[in-house]
Structures are given as C-alpha cells and as structure tokens.
C-alpha cells in the first residue's frame, strides 16, 4: 500500500443492490453495474453498504454480492467489501469470508444502533482489525445522534493497527476535523467523504483522498474531483452545481435515495427497474415527477460535449 497508484483514490461509488420483481438479488444486473463502473474509468467500488440496502440483506446475501462482484471484476477494478454488523463476532466472520473471496479492501461501519462510549468502540474496532491483519480496512462513521469518532481515537487506532488505512466520515462542517486528522496522522489515513459527495469541493483542497457517492453520478463527480485537484476551480464548481440538485433532493431520505439512484441508472440504460426491498419508500406523484426531471437534467448534462463526459451506457456491451 505504499504506492499512491495502488491505493484507493478519487471516486469510490457504492454499488446498489439490484432486485428482481420478487425482490431476489439480480446477479446479472449486478454484473452490469460493475461493468458500468469500469466503463467510466472508476478504479474501485464498494458494496454492500447503506446505499446497497445492506441492512435488508441476509448475511449469506451480503457475502454473495461481494463474491459476484469480485469474480466479475476479475482484477479490472478494486472491490471494497462492506462487512457491517453490530455483533463483532459476526462482522469478523463476514470480513474473513470477504477476504477469502478476494476483496481488495474491507470496510466496516462503526456500530451506532445505540450510544456507546469510545472505549467500547475501540475494543470493537481493534479486535476487528486484528482479525484480518493483512488486509487494508476502511472504517466508516455515520452518527446521526452526534459527532463521529474523535481525532485522538483515530490516531490511537492507527498506531495500534497498521491495516487501518482509510476513514470515511459523513457529517456537516467537518473541514476542521478533516484537517486535524490529516495533520495528526501525518496523512497516513486516507480520508473519504460520504453523503453523496455533498461537501467534496470544500474538502478536496484540504487533502481528502476521495469521495464515496452513489454509482449513477460517479463519472460526473470523478470529473469534478479531477478539476478541483488540478486547480480548475471554476469548471469544477460549474459542473458540481449541475449535478447537486439531484444528489441533494435524493439524500433527504435514504430510502428515497434508493429509488432516485435506481431510476437514474434506468435512465442511463443500466438497470431495468428501481425495485427496493420492502419496507421501501413509496414516492408520491410529485416526487416521481420531480425525480424524472432531475434525472433528465443529468442525462442532458452527459450529452453536453462542453463537459467532456462520455455517457457510460455507450461503452457497455449488452
């Protein structure tokens, strides 16, 4: 992991879980989603995460979607395997199985079902990291009830666990904290911003490693990321402003996001339906109409040669 070219970098989108009409996992559609990411020049993808409806999958299904992704990717793209579970024992079992399946990086969300002190979280995360010592790990912290793990906590965890390589935080007004983490860890932890890339323009100059948005706009946000890093700020802001209405609206509710994300992937010629497992958000007529409008704006953006983004569906062999 010493060469930046070999590390996770740039946009690492979350692959949604596609379902058939009877809510079984559609493995052929999942393979199409992997191809879609590869066609857009994406270097790594993550699944099954919150945006993959991981919380609606059985443990066996979680392992299965990773295995399908690894096998189909065949080394063409890195696979970050989310191994979330509030039980440490089960999380470790999932992680070890994903390592065995060939995942490049293991990801774990800090358990936030109930409020726990940091010493409890430290024990959980440390034992998880030590269970897969030869595999790089990305830790994700999304805490709706308060702040994410502290900078001193992050530093101690890094010092004690060499395979703690990446951290994804999802919270507003986080620029000072990101800056503090980079300085305190000597930039040894690759920082990623989640929540659809909402804060990426603020955080890229600080030194984040990348963002982890939904798959449907990953190629656009990769272009934004590259422009901003290269100092082409006006172009970065202009392109970001074009895509942000769709991201902002869909992220009002995670279940709404599943619907909007899959509808956009339908519009881009990749998925055939927007089915989410129940309980799922049932959009009203106004929301359905507005999402179609927002998604059409994304399609129009992709077809505008001014922005130099090749529509990914044109590169897929169906």
CATH architecture of 4-315: Alpha-Beta Barrel (3.20)
Flag whether pLDDT at 165 surpasses 50. yes
Is the pLDDT at 108 greater than 70, yes or no? Answer: yes
pLDDT score recorded for residue 6: 63
Q: Using CA atoms, how far apart are residues 242 and 57, in angstroms rounded to an integer? A: 34
258 neighbors 279 (Cβ within 8 angstroms): no
Rounded to whole angstroms, the Cα distance separating 228 from 241 reads 13
- Tell me the residue length of the chain: 318
pLDDT in tens, 7-38: 899 999 999 999 999 999 999 999 999 999 99
In the DSSP assignment, the letter for residue 144 is T
pLDDT value at residue 144 = 81
The CA distance from 11 to 272, in Å, is 25
- Torsions phi, psi of 33, nearest 5? -65, -40
For residue range 30-53, list pLDDT tens digits in order: 999 999 999 999 999 999 999 999
How high is the pLDDT of residue 256? 97
Buried b (16+ CB within 10 A) or exposed e, 140-150: bbeeeeeebbe
254 is in an annotated binding site: no
Residue 140: predicted pLDDT: 97
* pLDDT over 50 at 83, yes or no: yes
Whether 313 shows a pLDDT value over 50: the answer reads no
* CB 51 within 8 Å of CB 261: yes
pLDDT given for residue 5 in this prediction? 46
Percentage of the chain modeled with pLDDT above 90: 88
Q: What is the mean pLDDT of residues 265-272?
A: 97
For the stretch 273-289, pLDDT in tens is 999 999 999 999 999 99
Is the pLDDT assigned to residue 95 strictly greater than 50?
A: yes
Q: Are 225 and 210 in contact (CB under 8 A)?
A: yes
Who has greater pLDDT, 143 or 154? 154
What is the residue extent of each domain of the chain? 4-315
What is the 3-class SS of 174-219, one letter each residue? CHHHHHHHHHHCCCCCEEEECHHHCCHHHHCCCCCCEECCEHHHHH
Whole-Å CA distances, 58 to 34, 50, 53, 88, 94: 21, 14, 11, 16, 11
In the structure, what pLDDT confidence band is assigned to residue 310 with cuts at 50, 70 and 90?
Answer: low
Q: What's the whole-number mean pLDDT along residues 207-215? A: 97
How many other C-beta atoms can be found within 10 angstroms of the C-beta atom of residue 5? 6
């Amino acid at each position: 992991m010493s060469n930046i070219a070999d590390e996770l970098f740039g946009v690492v989108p979350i692959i949604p879980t596609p379902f058939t009409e009877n809510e079984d996992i559609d493995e052929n559609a999942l393979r199409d989603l992997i191809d879609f990411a590869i066609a857009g020049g994406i270097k790594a993808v993550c699944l099954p995460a919150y945006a993959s409806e991981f919380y609606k999958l059985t443990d066996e299904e979680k392992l299965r979607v990773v295995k399908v992704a690894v096998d189909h990717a065949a080394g063409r793209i890195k696979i970050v395997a989310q191994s979330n579970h509030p039980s440490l024992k089960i999380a470790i079992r999932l992680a070890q199985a994903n390592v065995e399946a060939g995942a490049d990086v293991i990801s774990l969300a800090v358990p936030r079902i109930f409020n726990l002190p940091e010493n409890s979280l430290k024990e959980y995360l440390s034992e998880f990291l030590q269970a897969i010592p030869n595999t790089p790990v990305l830790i994700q912290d999304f805490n709706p009830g308060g702040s994410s793990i502290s900078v001193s906590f992050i530093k101690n965890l890094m010092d004690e666990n060499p395979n703690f390589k990446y951290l994804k935080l999802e919270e507003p007004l986080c620029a000072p904290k990101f800056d503090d983490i980079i300085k305190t860890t000597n930039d040894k932890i690759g920082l990623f911003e989640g929540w659809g890339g909402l804060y990426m323009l603020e955080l890229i100059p600080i030194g984040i490693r990348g963002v982890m948005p939904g798959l449907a706009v990953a190629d656009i946000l990769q272009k934004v990321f590259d422009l901003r890093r290269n100092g082409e700020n006006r172009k970065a802001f202009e392109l970001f402003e074009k895509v942000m209405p769709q991201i902002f609206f869909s992220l009002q509710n995670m279940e709404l996001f599943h619907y909007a994300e899959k509808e956009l992937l339908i519009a881009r010629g990749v998925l055939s339906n927007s089915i989410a497992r129940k309980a799922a958000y049932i959009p009203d007529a106004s929301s359905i109409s507005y999402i179609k409008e927002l998604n059409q704006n994304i399609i129009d953006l992709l077809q505008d040669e001014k922005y130099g983004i090749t529509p990914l569906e044109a590169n897929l062999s169906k």
